[in-house]
Each structure stands twice: as structure tokens, then as C-alpha cells.
Amino acid sequence: LLINIFVLPIAVGGLLHFAGQGVDADTFVLTLPMSQRQEGLTLLVFIGGLSSATGMVIVETIALSTMVCNDLVMPMLLRHNRAALEESKDLSGLLLGIRRGAIVVILLLGYLYFRLAGEAYALVAIGLISFSAVAQFAPALIGGMYWRGGTRGGALAGLSAGFMVWTYTLLLPSFAKSGWLPGDFLMQGFFGVELLRPQQLFGLAGMGEIAHCLFWSFFANIGAYVGVSLLRPPMVAEATQATLFVDALKDTGQGGAVLWRGRAQVSDLQELVGRFLGPARAQSAFAAFARRRGNSDDVTPEADAKLVQFAESLLAGAIGSASARVMVASVAKEEPLSIEEVMHILDEASQLRTYSRELERKSRELTAATLELQAANERLQELDRVKDDIMSSVTHELRTPLTSIRALSELLRDDPKMHLPDRERFLGLIVSETERLTRLINQTLDLAKIESGRADWNGCELDLKEVIEQSIAATSQLMREKEAHVEVDLPDNLPLILADRDRLIQVMLNLLSNAVKFLKQGSGRISVTLGRRADGLEVSVADNGPGIRPEDQQLVFEKFRQVGDTMTAKPSGTGLGLPISRRIVEHFGGQLWVESVPGEGATFRFTLPFAHAQQVEVSPDTAV
């Protein structure tokens, strides 16, 4: 493709220089230097073009003559005059004569087509017509490589249909444009039927003649190939050959061993090859093959399967694979397989299939185990990350009370004559910071146990109203210090829940103390309600404090996160109460969340399911 890049400037220059002059584009490479009176360059280009064209003609005619000899003439001679060929000692002259005759015929046919239709087409157009003809082999070739259902009859039908359409839509119009067929054939169609116009077949217009031909020829080719193959199932021989050909590139695990049972003499094979290649060349090829295998020339008079295959490949290069197989079969006497050997081969195939399935099963199990290990590793990494986060947060939170205790202790040590009221105040602060430190350590350990699944849970049926009343009584002193007003709405005869009493008291104490902490002195109000839902009970603790901004309502449930008024000091506490409370509630199948409007207070709600499924039914007078 890269060599065609040099054609572009010549084509552009020719179109610009000879615009409207009717100069054939195929001659731009000569007419451009001629127009500039560059005789030397013109002669050089002519010699180069002549050399290139001659070389192309030589290569193509040799290739085509070899195909004609190997795949057309020799199979016909073997079929109709095989005895004479077997008696002949040297067939190389016959092969040479056939190929020379084929070269002459091919050149004459090419020249004849050029004289008949070539003058009406550019060189590229003639090449595209040939390409369209060669493309008809593609469906059968690709189908034979990948489809076991293709048959010989289907391939022949497809090729016949494709070439017929190619002849009608492309070859005959080229003769009509050259004047060798009536022009009405192109305009009015076959027998005057416009739907049969060769370049607008069945009314398909708007396409180039090459694209139009390829569309209809492939349609007929593929349709006939698939249709005939499906209508006529392949014979046993065809199915076997198709399977071997389709699976030819698959690794069978047998190291490419050749399955062949027969007897052939090395001398017979060498003599057979010598008839077509010449005795000297045959002897040299067999000797080289023996040296490659590490054998001497006369180790054994009998040929093995590999040598037979080698001889067949040598002949295939001279007379084609089909003819080579026939000629080798004439000197190699193949022995049929017995029933016992066939059964043995089938048993081995069955064992291989079973082994393959076992390998597939083990492979799937290994893949599943790998995925499980991967998931476990990810969980361990997540736990390790959580551990590092907790250690970092705990270290940070421990530093504050320890710093306060140390500073206050140093003040007491450095001033032994400190006034008694100041000393008592400092000692009280030390005790307060120590209690805070103890709470922090206890809550950290408690949270670690819950997250690791090692916490102790004493689940039992209990009355949630009693838990709430006990929690309110425990925080009454805090509420009196804040002068807070408490409103309680706790209905009687509500269903029992299944939970840990001490853990629920811990949740209520966290919510109540958290509400008291943000109340204003003397004007605070706390409302505690208990209600029934369709699937359980709901508890709410509301206050009239500063509230929580929407962007902070999820942060309050994160470890060591505290949210307060930015204009005031940081709220007292550890930042672990709400995270612990949420995990306790979720452990017993409930949910804990917050609802708040900044400036109007906050409401923390949590739900817990009933202890028994039959208690799910809700009466209208008790539902929230």
C-alpha cells in the first residue's frame, strides 16, 4: 500500500496539467515528462514501466499456469489416463509442456479480452473486474475454514451462481460498452425487461457497477452455498474432511502425530517423486529429510507416516495436492482399521473428553476459589484500613485530655502554695478529664468489639417503655442543671421487642445527653415519644437546640466527628456515642437517623422490629 503513495502526486499533477484535454490517466506517468520535453526522463519511465509490466505478466502467468496444471489438467489425466502416467518413468517433461501451453493460452485470452473490451476501460477498471471474479471464491473458502456444515455441492452451487451473476452484471456489460453486444442490452435489460438491466438489476440503482456486481453476486453465491449445504446434508467423507480442516489449527496435544496405517517402500516413493521432479532432485530431497530426522539414507526399506507425508508434500508442489494424494495412494497400500482398533480409538477419545471436562471443572473451581480469596483479601485490607483510622483517631482524641491533665498537674506541682479554691478547681478539672479519658477508652473498645463482631449481645423480649423511662431518670440530673423541660409521650400496652436492655439504655443515654448538651440554659425543651409502626416501634428524641445543617446530618454518625456552632467552642464528648448507637440499633434490625432544620432543633429517631411476627398488624388507633 505504501508504494501507491507515489502515485498520488503523479495523478494530481496530471489532472491539473491536462485538465479538459482528454488524456488517459493511465498514461500520466509518460505524458507529464513528455509535455515538459524531458526525453531522457520519459525513456527512463518507459523502460521502468515496461520492466514492471513484464515482470507482473511473467509472475501471474506462471502462477496461473501452475494452478491450471495442478488443479485442472493433471487430475483429468489421472482420472482418464492413469495407467499411461504410471508407466512413464519421467513426467517432468509432461508437466513442463502443460504449463507452457497454459501460459500461451492465458496470454492469448488476456490479449483477446483487451482487444474486445479493454479499450473501453482504464487499467484499474479491468483490475476491479478481475477482482470481482476472484472474490467469488471467498464464501466457499471462508465457509470451509469455519463451518463444518458446508458441502461440496453447496460450494459448487455458490461458485456457479456467483460467476453467473458476475458474468451478467459486469463481464457482458464490458463487451456491450465496447460495441460487441447491442447497447440496448444495458438500457432495456435482457428480453427488454427493465428489472433485468445488468447494472441496475431488480431496480437497484445508485451504486457503482463494481459494488452493484459484488452485492448481487455475493447474495447469490452465499445463498446458494448455504441453501444447498442445508438442504443436502454432507456425506460421511465430507463431514470428516470438514472436521479435520476446521480443526486443523487446534492443538490436539499429540505433538502433531500423523494417523496412517499402511505399507510403502522408500524406493517406490523416491521413484514416484523422481518421475515429476527428476531423479537427482528427488534423491537429494529424501537424503535431506533423513538427515533432519537423524537417520541414514538406508536405515529401513519401509517408509513411515512422516516420510509418506513428506513425499506427498513434494508432489503437491509439482502436480497439486489432489493429484499428489492419488499418486501416493498408487504405491502406498493402506490397511483398514479393525473393529477392535476403532473401538480402542473411540475409548481413548472418550477418555480425553472426560479428562477435558474434568479439567474445565477444576478450572472453574480454581477461578471461584481465586475470587473468594480476592474478596477475603479485600475485606482484610478494609479491616486493616479501619484499624489504622481508629488508631489515628483514638490517638488524636487521647492527646487532648492527657495534655490537659499534664498541664494542670504541672501547675499544682510548681505552685505548692496555691490557694485552696484554685487547687480544688484544678483537681476537679483533672478528675473531669480523667473521666472523659475513661469514657473515650471504654467507648473505643466497645465500638471495636461491635465492628469486629466480638461484642456480647444479651437479646431478650423487653418493654421499650421501661427502657426509656429508666434512661430519662438516669439523665434527670443533667436536665435539672440545664433547667430543661422534658415532655414524654409513652403509650401503654405496646408490643414487646427483642433486644439487649443494657445496649438500648446506652442508646437512649447517648441521645438524651446529646440533646441536653446543645440546649440553651433555662429555655431548653426535650420531647421523647414512643409510637407504633407497621413493622415495629419508633422512638424519637427532639430538642429545640441550634439544629444540624443538612450537609452535616450524616457526618454526626461518623467516628470522632462532632458538629456544633462554629462560633462557639467544640462540644464536649468523644464523638463515638452516635456511631455506637447506630450500630446497636442496626444489629437488632432497626434504623437510626436524624431530622433537623437549622435554628429549630434536631430530632433523632430509631426503629426496632417486633419480637414476634404476629404483632406486625397495626390498629388504626395506635399507629403513628
**Amino acid sitting at position 202:** F
Rounded CA-CA distance 549/565 in Å is: 10
**What does each C-alpha distance from 535 to 261, 324, 495, 607, 610 come to in angstroms?**
80, 86, 11, 9, 7
Q: What is the largest CA-CA distance in the chain?
A: 137
- State residue 540 phi and psi, 5-degree precision: -130, 140
Secondary structure letter of residue 195 according to DSSP = G
**DSSP secondary structure string for all residues of 455-521:** -----EEE-HHHHHHHHHHHTHHHHHHHT-EEEEE--SSPPPEEE-HHHHHHHHHHHHHHHHHTSPT
Low-confidence ranges of the chain (pLDDT < 50): 249, 251-258, 565-570, 613-624
Exposed, middle or buried: residue 159 (CB in 10 Å: 0-12, 13-18, 19+)?
Answer: middle
Which helix (H) or strand (E) segment holds residue 449: the answer is: helix 420-452
* Fold of the 457-616 domain: Heat Shock Protein 90 (3.30.565)
Tens of pLDDT, residues 26-43: 788 888 999 888 889 999
Rounded CA-CA distance 329/332 in Å is: 5
Name the β-bridge partners of 486: 526
Tens of pLDDT, residues 502-541: 889 889 988 998 888 888 888 889 999 999 988 899 999 9
Output the pLDDT for position 444.
72
CATH of the domain spanning 341-445: 1.10.287.130
Q: Which residue has the cell 470438514?
A: 242
Using only C-alpha atoms, what is the Rg of the chain? Answer: 49
- CA angle 519-524-528, nearest 5°? 95
Secondary structure letter of residue 531 according to DSSP = E
Secondary structure letter of residue 167 according to DSSP = I
Output the pLDDT for position 521.
86
- State residue 299 phi and psi, 5-degree precision: -70, -50
**DSSP secondary structure string for all residues of 235-276:** PHHHHHHHHHHHTTTS--SSTT-----EE-BHHHHHHHHHHH
Say if strands 602-609 and 536-543 run parallel, antiparallel, or are unpaired.
antiparallel
SS3 402: helix
Residue 198 CA from chain centroid, whole number: 44
Rounded CA-CA distance 453/363 in Å is: 34
Beta strands in 510-573 (DSSP E): 525-532, 536-543
Domain ranges of the chain: 2-245, 251-336, 341-445, 457-616
Buried-state track 100-114, b at ≥16 Cβ within 10 A, e below 16: eebbeebeeebeebe
Say if strands 525-532 and 591-596 run parallel, antiparallel, or are unpaired.
unpaired
- State residue 185 phi and psi, 5-degree precision: -60, -35
Cβ neighbours, 10 Å, residue 64: 18
Q: Which of 472, 575, 574 is nearest to 526 (CA)?
A: 472
Which residue stretches of 167-320 are H helix?
172-177, 184-188, 209-231, 236-246, 266-277, 279-292, 305-319
Output the pLDDT for position 255.
42
Output the pLDDT for position 101.
92
Buried-state track 481-511, b at ≥16 Cβ within 10 A, e below 16: ebebebeeebeeebbebebbbebbbbbbbbb
Q: Which residues fall within 8 angstroms of residue 120, CB to CB, at 6 or more apart?
A: 174, 177, 178
Output the pLDDT for position 43.
93
